[in-house]
Structure formats: structure tokens, C-alpha cells
Amino acid sequence: MNTPALETERLILRKFTEQDMEALFLILQDEEVNRFLPWYPVKNMEEAKRFYEERYAAKYAQPQAYAYAVCLKADDYPIGYIKVDMEEHHDFGYGLRKEFWHKGIVTEAAKAVIKQVKKDGLSYITATHDRNNPRSGGVMRNVGMKYQYSYEEQWQPKNILVTFRMYQLNLDGNESRVYKKYWDTSAVHFIEPNL
């Protein structure tokens, strides 16, 4: 139940390993790819290695986690990542090297990961994106997630005010469940029409 390897038509989804540091560096060093993410782009291989230790190796040591490298089948080389957290929010997140955008790769990976977490018994997943990053919301809608609400957060570590849109997908048939924590903890929250 920890990041079991998955295969889709074009992709292999698997754990990152210590052999993937160059690949991880290439994903994490890009300003644009990392703009809407809660960390700064890495500057060197040491920073990539630290990122791996803190955000991947630590998760692989847990009993259950979903923290995938997204690789093309042709070479099994990581070009992006996709994850579902095991905390109460079950936050769903992803990122991909720019050269590979606009080909439906993250949508394809996301569908496979959602199928797996559903099979493993997760009741729901949530995802949030900055209102200025609508393509991320496109992926959420592509996989059947439903917009629930928007909220403001003074976002760290970048310390900027962000309006997030929160999406949710219930996996256990309880269609009306809404994860309210972001709504409850944010002073500014609202529902945008027509989303």
C-alpha cells in the first residue's frame, strides 16, 4: 500500500529512487513549473537530494503513501510527479516538466492514481489550485473532481495572498461530503458561480 507501481497506455508510475536525482532536479529547477507550488525552485543537486529525502524517502517509510514519479514508458525516466497525501485532506497534487505539457499526460496519470486509491479504500481526495493557475483546475475537472469553494490564504513559504479553488472527488458514493477545513479556517471564503 505504498506507491504500488502502475502502468497506463503511455506511462509508468512508480517510486522515485536515489538514481532519479538528476530527473528530479530537472523537474524542480524550473521557475515556471514551480511557480504555483509551496516551495522555491531548487538550485542544485544537493537541494534536489534533500527534497527527495524529505518529500519522498520519508513517505516511502510510512505504511501507506502515494508519491509517484511519472515516467514515459519509452525510457522509464521521471518527467513529473503525482501524489495523494494520507492526511485528512487527502490532497492530490502534480507537476510536469514544461516540454511535456498539453499532451494529457497528467490527466492520464491522475486517472490511474485515483483508481488505485479508490481500490485501496480512500473515501475521498481533495485538491486546491491558485485561481491564476486554471490549467491545474482543468486536470481536476478532467478526472471528475467537483469545484466546492474558494478561499484566501496568506500562503507560505512564499508569503503571498492566494485565492485557492478547492475541488473534491468522493470515492465511496457519499456524494454530498465536502471537506470544509479550508473554508472553516479562512476568514475570506466564497463560492464562485459557473465553475
Ligand X SMILES: CC(C)(COP(=O)(O)OP(=O)(O)OC[C@H]1O[C@@H](n2cnc3c(N)ncnc32)[C@H](O)[C@@H]1OP(=O)(O)O)[C@@H](O)C(=O)NCCC(=O)NCCS
In whole angstroms, what is the distance from residue 81 CA to residue 16 CA?
9
Residue 60 one-letter amino acid: Y
In whole angstroms, what is the distance from residue 53 CA to residue 57 CA?
5
Minimum distance between the CB of residue 9 and ligand X, rounded to whole angstroms? 13
Q: Cα–Cα–Cα angle for 70, 150, 54, nearest 5°?
A: 35
Residue of minimal Cβ distance to ligand X:
138
Choices 41-49, 71-79, 103-111, 177-185 (CB under 6 A): range interacting with ligand X: 103-111
Cα 44 from chain centroid (whole Å): 23
- Per-residue exposure over 142-159, b if at least 16 CB sit within 10 Å of its own CB, e if not: ebebebbbbbbbeeeeee
Residues of span 122-151 touching ligand X by CB under 6 A: 129, 133-139, 141-142
Strand ranges (E), 50-172: 66-72, 78-84, 92-96, 124-130, 146-155, 160-170
What value does the CA radius of gyration of the chain take, rounded to a whole number of Å?
16
Q: Which is nearer to ligand X, 4 or 104 (CB)?
A: 104
163 part of the interface to ligand X, by CB under 6 A: no
Choices 4-12, 47-55, 93-101, 151-159 (CB under 6 A): range interacting with ligand X: 93-101
Q: How many residues bind ligand X (CB under 6 A)?
A: 24
Contacting residue, 11, 69, 79, 96, with ligand X by CB under 6 A: 96
Contacting residue, 2, 91, 101, 146, with ligand X by CB under 6 A: 101
Give me 46's grid cell. 544537493
Contacting residue, 24, 33, 117, 145, with ligand X by CB under 6 A: 33
Q: Which is nearer to ligand X, 93 or 189 (CB)?
A: 93
Residues that bind ligand X (CB under 6 A): 33, 36-37, 93-96, 101-107, 129, 133-139, 141-142
